[in-house]
Amino acid sequence: MHVRRPPLTAFIVIFAVALLVPTIAIFGYEDGAQYPYLEVDTDNKITTTFLFEQRNDEHSCRRVLHEMARRIVSVCQSCEVIESKCLGSLNPEQRRLLSAEPLDSPSARLENAIVVYKSLDSEAALAGCKESERLSSSTLRCYGPAEQRPLRNSPEPIRLTAVLASLWFGLVTLMVSWIACLFIVRFPSPQTAWSMDDVASGPQKFHQTPTPRMGGLAILVSLLLVGIVPLPFNSHRFSGEEYGYLMLAGLPAFVAGLSEDATKRVPVMIRLFATIVAAVFCAWLLSAVIRRLDIPLVDDALAWTPLALAFTAIAVGGVANAINIIDGYNGLVGGYAILVLIAMAAISAQVGDVFIFCSAIAMLGALAGFMLWNFPKGTIFLGDGGAYFVGFWLAELSVLLVSRNQTVSPWFPLLLLLYPVFETVFSMYRKKVLRGKSPGQPDGLHLHMLIYKRVLPLSYKENDSPAHRNSRVSPYVWKLALCSIVPGAVFWNNTIPLAFFACTFCVFYVWFYRRIVRLDIPKWLSSKDI
């Protein structure tokens, strides 16, 4: 029986209503997030800056400022308060003060605030910091310039308005991505000559008709639009400036991948290098640098900034390339990335990182709009541009989540991204060591390809079309990926169980791969109900 598809107008009306609800709620529910900010001049030419952690409303913020100013003047009669205000949102430099990132000036960490000592005489500033530590109780400790600083131990979950704002972002990116894919699929003539993925053009091609590889462009457009729109929501602790930096940093990875989609002649090393450049760019703009792995000696080595920067850039480039490698079947990367983003959003909500939460939801919405066209029929592909950009986004949010939140174990994002990372490392070992081939040479022996070739034939149905068989690979991979994503989300702040589950997943992957290669397929894989 033919089922009539609802008209586009009805879809737009339903979307508009869904968009209106969180918009009204955001402006109807006042978020009182405020950060007390105080600057004091001392008699020895040192300016002391106090930045307190969030207060729930402006009244409590003003009370903190008044009490702090009173205490300072009572202790130091020559001191003068030169600025006192409540900040509704923090810029990237102010957020850096509350992070664990080293600062250029001496600083002290209080129980609920950061104190920075600035002076034209750097030695005087450090002496003032040390003197404050000596005169105060044991709760204040001075940290010199470029010295790693601790974070608070009890992060505050994000507020309701930030959740509503992120829902708004997700709905916008979903709609824009869906519409952009609609135009690419239905009106392909302007980009047919250079964006179509031909049939059987390589060992990793399994589609039956020429298909546009422009899904990444739809995702990029939707994320760019939502970066322009959310200016009214800056009071809800979402930094449009940080979001813009993240988008800007990701452009080299997207452009390199898009060039491959257009020309089919860009070597993988060039694309990898472009993504590494993007990671360095992001480290410069957002201080996105991995400085800890919770491994003795390794963390000491990563305290050296050049090494930490190099390690971060290679890790981000490797993740982006790994995402591109597993992009072989309808919905595989899109569905996997959505699972990762859900886990990432859940943990960023718990630690109160609104920027990462909203950025994750925005990408999740963009991928959902793309998936409506990509899965199960595969009418549009991500392409290398989309795969590298999505991989970059996942990798950078992972780096930022760990670098900005000390309570998050660095093994948490590793568990989230372990499937594509280990797939890539294992494939390099298989090609170079076992087969004596170049690791960069494509072949048809990736796990998802073996599932298509050796597992699915055991459960083919008579009326299965090639497109349907193609789309049936992704659920197998999603379930495999959940074996690492779920433990990661459960033990996100505990390194020991995370390391255990990482090792367990790697062992399980190798066992699973060997069973398929030897045609010793587990019976539970051959069920026609999967």
* Residue 465 burial by Cβ neighbours in a 10 Å radius (0-12, 13-18, 19+): exposed
Q: What is the per-residue pLDDT for 365?
A: 92
Q: Helix, strand, or coil here: 147?
A: coil
User: How long is the chain?
Assistant: 530
Report how far apart, in Å, the C-alpha atoms of 328 and of each of 208, 281, 331, 442, 444 are.
13, 29, 9, 12, 10
Looking at the DSSP bridge assignments, the partners of residue 41 are 47, 80
Cα angle for residues 92, 230, 346 (degrees, 5° grid): 70
Q: What residue segments make up the domains of the chain, in order of their start?
A: 35-143, 160-525
Cα angle for residues 266, 269, 272 (degrees, 5° grid): 100
Name the residue type at position 50.
F
Q: What are the residues whose beta carbons fall under 8 Å from the beta carbon of 133, sequence distance 6 or more? A: 108, 140, 141, 142
Q: Helix, strand, or coil here: 245?
A: helix
Name the residue type at position 502.
A
Torsion of CA 213, 219, 221, 227, to 10 degrees: -160
Upper half-sphere CA count for residue 244 (Cβ side, 13 Å): 10
pLDDT tens string for the chain (530 positions)? 343 444 556 555 555 555 555 554 444 444 456 778 888 887 667 788 887 777 766 777 788 888 888 877 777 777 788 888 888 767 767 777 777 777 888 888 776 778 888 888 888 888 888 877 777 655 677 888 877 776 654 556 666 666 776 777 888 899 899 999 988 888 765 555 556 655 555 544 554 567 788 899 999 999 998 877 654 444 445 667 788 899 999 999 999 999 988 888 888 899 999 999 999 999 999 889 998 998 888 988 998 889 999 999 999 999 999 999 998 888 999 999 999 999 999 998 888 788 898 899 999 999 999 999 998 888 899 989 999 999 999 999 999 999 888 789 999 999 999 999 999 999 888 888 877 777 767 777 888 888 888 877 766 665 566 667 778 889 999 999 999 999 999 999 899 999 999 999 999 999 999 888 888 777 766 655 44
Q: What is the per-residue pLDDT for 204?
A: 47
d(CA 35, CA 476): 47
Determine if the peptide bond prior to 376 is cis (ω within 30°).
yes
Q: Which long-range contacts (CB under 8 A, 24 or more apart) does 248-252 make?
A: 248/281, 248/285, 249/278, 249/279, 249/281, 249/282, 249/285, 249/286, 249/396, 250/278, 250/282, 250/389, 250/392, 250/393, 250/396, 251/278, 252/277, 252/278, 252/281
Q: Give a three-class secondary structure readout of 80-103.
A: EEEEEEEECCCCHHHHHHHCCCCC
Cα angle for residues 36, 37, 42 (degrees, 5° grid): 135
